[in-house]
Structures are given as structure tokens and as C-alpha cells.
Amino acid sequence: MRKITIILGALLLLAMACQPEETGYKWREEWDSGNPDVGPDGPDGPDGPDTPEIKGKPRYVWVDAAANFPYYANDAACIAEDCKRIAEMGFTDIVLDVRPTSGDVLFASSVAPPCQKVAAWVNGRYRWVERTAAFDYLATFIEKGHQAGLRVNAAINTMVGGYHSSIGDVGMVYDQPQLKDWCAVDNLSGGLTNSMDDPETGPRFLDPANAEVQGFLFTLLEELAAYEGLDGIVLDRCRYDDYGMDAGYTDAAREAFTTYLGDAPSAWPVMPRGQSTVGSPSTLQRNWLTFRCKVIHDFIAQAAEKVHGVNPDVRFGVYVGAWFSTYYTSGVNWTSSQYDLKANESSYKWVSPNYQKTGFADLLDFIFLGAYAGTGSIHGNTEWTMEGFAKLGAKRLCGAVPFAAGPDIGNATGFEGGHQDALLPDIVKTMLASSDGLFIFDLCHIRMFDYWDAFEKGIGEYLETL
């Protein structure tokens, strides 16, 4: 069973399906359906005020694409109304998901397919919700968000390209069979298995070590950075497949790992299948775990350069899970490279100086920590308490980058059924006291459980202390 899916499987809903071009990964420019007024530079683009001033620490709310699609896909008025409500609650920023796990996009792109439909939870079951509107989704959020006094940050699901679901397979890797070589290869019960051949439902991950995948993603990020008025870009799922240490065994990865070692690896796959943690890995295994983190580190370093090369004023950041003690299984080291892992982390006694160098926090303008503890674990100093996640995050980041931390208010234990209004002001206070900012996943849960007033109360009480 997927370890990461157990923790995160409910966080992002299903994916989208769009129509591809006939060859390659260039896609038809169907975004505006011939309408010259649509796009980042058209009259429907952002014309609101400059980036608003922020009082106190920033407060971010995530806007997942699929979960909120029924409200926003075809309704610019609803976007405007909710941006106003979000600002009235006291949030300063939205983090807008514009690339769901299908790999299709909700912004104007020359290389990725535009979103035309998404599977969303409607009236108790998943149904297709189609997008028929012509307005530019991202540009409209920028315009309406700025008018409401919000900053607008665009998030993409990074190392993904499709979704295998109960109601259909969607996304770029399904539309373009030749892209199968871009997909992850995992060590499953039947041996090394391409993600496209995995019968389990879920995202179809791409191979982080594949140079073509990286080039495609860099182009996407440059297109995003060119959007007029965009305040920031956030990478989500910038990691290896949900299978943890069983992930990453593509031909491209083997070739790159051979170059890294200076010789072919003596074992392939490197890690025993199904291993959830490591205690005393062999030299080859230590090199493999370091190599995977280096791949992600180097991708993020180049991505930051690409974004800032287009627009140095666009902030660049990453979302990660705050459960750092086991996060190495995803091929990610989100600490500052100055943080002494071996001295401070009991589960990282095996790391080498080269692993230390894979910490990427120093490359970022901001970072988001998912402090996804349950309602009974708000306070504390350890992992799997909201406050502990934030305090430990601050220690691990070494002041290299400002961070926002906060809970999943819809899926974490105790949040599933709503009715947690009384806890939310305490959560707001606790996270703002222990972090550089507040991060809330997701807007759909605020709407679903009618938490508007609770957040306005909590943030208002915080602002009164300034």
C-alpha cells in the first residue's frame, strides 16, 4: 500500500482531461478559442492594484483545482465574490492550483493541454464537471484577487502527468502514448512497473531524472512567471512517486545514477521492495538516497533560476509535508543546507556530507509546511502536532526562508465531518505564533463546513494583537 497515499491521498481530488495535438508534447493553442481578449496580456487580464500591503504575518489559503472546480470553472463572478470573502476573513494570499494531477493546465500554455473537464465530488459521487467558459482562469483570479486586496500565487502539481481514476483515465500521458517513457517506474510486486501499467488508482508520476520532463516543466514555469501581476509560484508534488523508496527506477535514472557513482550500480533496484524506513543502509543505498534528493535539489535550483530569469519579482516556493523524520522516502530534503542532519535527526544518522548539500530551502523565497495533525494534536513540540511541526520546521530551515505552516481542515483526523469552528481561532493563533505565516488547506472545506466566520474571528483576534 502506498505510504504517502495513506497520508495525502485525500488531499487533492481527481484530475482533468483535455485534447492533445497529434504529435509530440506541443499542444493546440485552444485556450482562448480565438478570443483575443483572453490571456495574460489581454483586456481580461489583471488590472487591479499593485501588490497589496500586508499587516502582520501572511495568511495563505490553498485553492485546489478539482475540489473547487464546480464553483469557478465557468463563473468569473463567483471568483470575484469568493476573493472578496477570503480577504474579508483576513487572509492575505491565495495559492491557486492551476495544474492538477492530470498535467492539464488552467493558464495559457504552449506546451501543456488546457483543462476542459475535471472529476469532482458532486452530490455524493464523482462526476465530470466541464469547463466551457473562455475566460483565462489564472488571469481572472489575479485580477479579482488583487481587486480584493489579495496576493495571488499559482501552484502546480509538478512531477505528475495523468490520473487513473474509477471514472476514467485522464491527462497528457494518456492522451500521448509516446510520453510513457516520461513516467515513473516503481518496484512493485510484479517487478519494475511503469506508472502507466500500475492498476492502482492515483496520480501518474513523471520521472524527475528525465531531462525531457525537466525541460517541459521549465517551459511551464517560464510561462507562468510571465503572467502579468502574478505574485508567486509554488511547486506541489515536486518529489518521487507515492511508492516512496520503491520509486525512481527508470532507464534515465539508472544512467544518471551511473554517472553519479562513476560506475554502474551493483544492484538494481537498489532498495529492498517494501522498505518503509532505513536504519543502516549500505554504501550503495546511501548513494541512491542521496542521488534522488540531489535530482530534486538540482531541479528546484534550475526552476528558481528560470522563474526569476523571466520575472525576478515573482516569489518562488515549494510545498512539502512537515513530517521530516520520514520525508527522505520521497526523495526530498527540504531543510537548509546549513542544518546539521546527523547531529539533530535520529532517523538521519546515516547521511553523508553530500546528502547535507541536497537541502534546498536556501534556494527559495518561501516554503509551505503541511502541518497535518488532527484536531486533538494542536499543541506540542513534536512531529504530528501542529505546533510541533512548525517549531521543528523553524529549526530545520535555519532562518534561510520564511515559512507558512498549517493544517488540512478537511481530511486530517477529527476534521472530516466539520463542526470544528471553536478550534479554528486557536489553530490560527498557534500557527501564527510558531511560524512565519499561516497556511490552510483547503478553501473547499471552508465553504463545505461554513468556516468563514470562524477564520474571520481567529485572524481578527490575531490582528488586534499587533
Indicate if the pLDDT at residue 144 is higher than 50: yes
Q: What is the largest CA-CA distance in the chain?
A: 62
Q: Which residues contact 117 (CB under 8 A, 6 or more apart)?
A: 16, 17, 18, 128, 129, 130, 131, 170
Q: Please write the tens of the pLDDT for every residue from 65-123.
A: 999 999 999 999 999 999 999 999 999 999 999 999 889 999 999 999 999 988 877 88
Between 1.10.260.40, 3.30.70.600, 3.40.50.880, 3.20.20.80, what CATH number should domain 3-464 receive? 3.20.20.80
Question: Does residue 240 come out as left (phi exceeding 0), alpha (psi in the -120 to 50 range) or beta?
Answer: beta
The alpha carbon of residue 348 and the mean position of all alpha carbons in its chain are separated, in whole angstroms, by 24
Peptide bond into 269 cis (omega under 30): yes
Are the C-beta atoms of residues 149 and 87 closer than 8 Å to each other? yes
Q: Which residues contact 318 (CB under 8 A, 6 or more apart)?
A: 234, 235, 236, 238, 300, 334, 360, 364, 367, 368
Share of the chain above pLDDT 90, in %: 84
CA distance linking residue 350 with residue 398, whole number of Å: 21
Are the C-beta atoms of residues 364 and 238 closer than 8 Å to each other? no
Query: What is the average pLDDT across 54-60?
Result: 95
Give the pLDDT band of residue 52 (cuts 50, 70, 90): low
CA distance linking residue 229 with residue 308, whole number of Å: 14
Are the C-beta atoms of residues 361 and 397 closer than 8 Å to each other? yes
CA angle 77, 79, 83 (to 5 degrees): 120
Indicate if the pLDDT at residue 11 is higher than 80: no
Q: Please write the tens of the pLDDT for every residue from 327-360.
A: 999 999 999 999 999 999 999 999 999 999 999 9
Going from N- to C-terminal start, the domains of the chain cover: 3-464
Three-state DSSP class for 188?
Answer: strand
Query: What is the average pLDDT across 400-419?
Result: 97
CA distance linking residue 443 with residue 401, whole number of Å: 25
Q: Which residues contact 282 (CB under 8 A, 6 or more apart)?
A: none
Indicate if the pLDDT at residue 20 is higher than 50: no
Helix-strand-coil percent breakdown of the chain, rounded to 5? 35, 20, 45
User: Which single residue is written with the C-alpha cell 510513457?
Assistant: 180
CA distance linking residue 449 with residue 389, whole number of Å: 25
Indicate if the pLDDT at residue 37 is higher than 70: no
Are the C-beta atoms of residues 317 and 234 closer than 8 Å to each other? yes
Give the pLDDT band of residue 43 (cuts 50, 70, 90): very low
Count of beta carbons in the 10 Å neighbourhood of residue 374 = 17
Three-state DSSP class for 161?
Answer: strand
Indicate if the pLDDT at residue 35 is higher than 60: no
What pLDDT is recorded for position 124? 82
Give the pLDDT band of residue 2 (cuts 50, 70, 90): very low
Query: What is the average pLDDT across 405-422?
Result: 97
The alpha carbon of residue 247 and the mean position of all alpha carbons in its chain are separated, in whole angstroms, by 18
Render 254-310 in DSSP notation, one character per residue.
HHHHHHHHTS--SSSS-SPTT----SS--HHHHHHHHHHHHHHHHHHHHHHHHHHHH
CA distance linking residue 83 with residue 297, whole number of Å: 34
Tell me the pLDDT of the chain averaged across its residues. Answer: 89
Q: Please write the tens of the pLDDT for every residue from 223-281.
A: 999 999 999 999 999 999 999 999 999 999 999 999 999 999 999 999 999 999 999 99
What pLDDT is recorded for position 47? 39
What pLDDT is recorded for position 422? 98
Q: Which residues contact 328 (CB under 8 A, 6 or more apart)?
A: 278, 289, 293, 347, 348
Share of the chain above pLDDT 70, in %: 89
CA distance linking residue 399 with residue 309, whole number of Å: 24
Give the closest residue to 181 by CA, choosing from 25, 331, 4.
25
